[in-house]
Structure 1
Amino acid sequence: MIRPALLLAALLAGPAAAQDARFQSTALLDTAVSQFTGHAQGEEGGAVAPVDRRLKLAACALPQLEWRTSAQDAVVVRCMAPVWRIFVPVKAAPRAIAAPAAVAMPGRAAPAPKPEIVVKRGDPVMVEAGSNGFSITRDGIAMGDAAAGARLMVRVDPAKPPIQAIAMEAGRVTLPGWQ
């Protein structure tokens, strides 16, 4: 009586276990990202958050890792067969921005420095949105000039109206509310 029950339990557990083997382990991806960056998750230089456990990525025998940009703000984890790609945000060190020295004239307020334009009209830009554990990107074309932190319009699809974005740095913008 016990043997048929064990056999039935093994048969029922078999397909569930095989089904999980079809998907890439997000815990293994977290480990690979930590080894690639050389920093633990949550540390400066490490992943901001774990890879979202809800992702059902096809199992990959050899995931490839590389930096998204030279700023090393995200790790691209990709699989060539089957094809998939995710971005893992990296916790960056805070950068100090030095204020330009202003020359004060007696009786006059110092002129406000003109902000540096980081995105120019016609530039190809990467539109980003995301939060802890995921990010989404899309290519677009800037419809105007913008300094860092300023708003501009970006065309992502010729058949649709442009979207509003906020300039972050040269070639990189984000959607409002996703900074």
Structure 2
Amino acid sequence: MKLTAPARYPRVKGALIAVGLSGMLAAAAPVGAQNATQGPHMDPAAIDRAIVEFTGLPIGQEGSARMPADRRLRLAACAAPLGISWHGRARTTLAVSCAGPQPWRIFIAAHTANVPDKAEPVVTRGDPLTIAVRGRGFTVQQAGEAMENGSPGDWIAVRTSRDAQPVRARIERPGLAIIPAP
């Protein structure tokens, strides 16, 4: 379709172009809307794998998700990497989110130890620690220092040297803090 207008009427020419473009966009809009609503769903097994990578522990084990993600979930497929973090100070829930074009966020219960609410800290601020980064098939250790008090299972700030930025690590036992590798 060729749109023509005399050169002496530039406004008419601009209006014809705008009408033509809006018609093409209107014709294409229903196709895009159908694809957005009928697109693939996020595989709950992929959410489980991401949680295992984040916690470094299998589903159902203490310190990881209590149960696998609900298979009935119909979340939009995530084009971006999943974001996983602990939700709340007690670390009893994992927050899993997608920051893609169709964002979503879910919460998954974590399997926590039956530790009394006021367990005595086994690590105090300034204590020397072994900071271990654990991944699939490897462990890297380095000496460090606790920046906070903590009991087994607590996530506290630790640092490897005086000049290093603090990072979060999970206290496993007195003198040992673990950082799960993604």
What TM-score, normalized to structure 2? 0.41
Larger Rg: 2
What TM-score, normalized to structure 1? 0.41
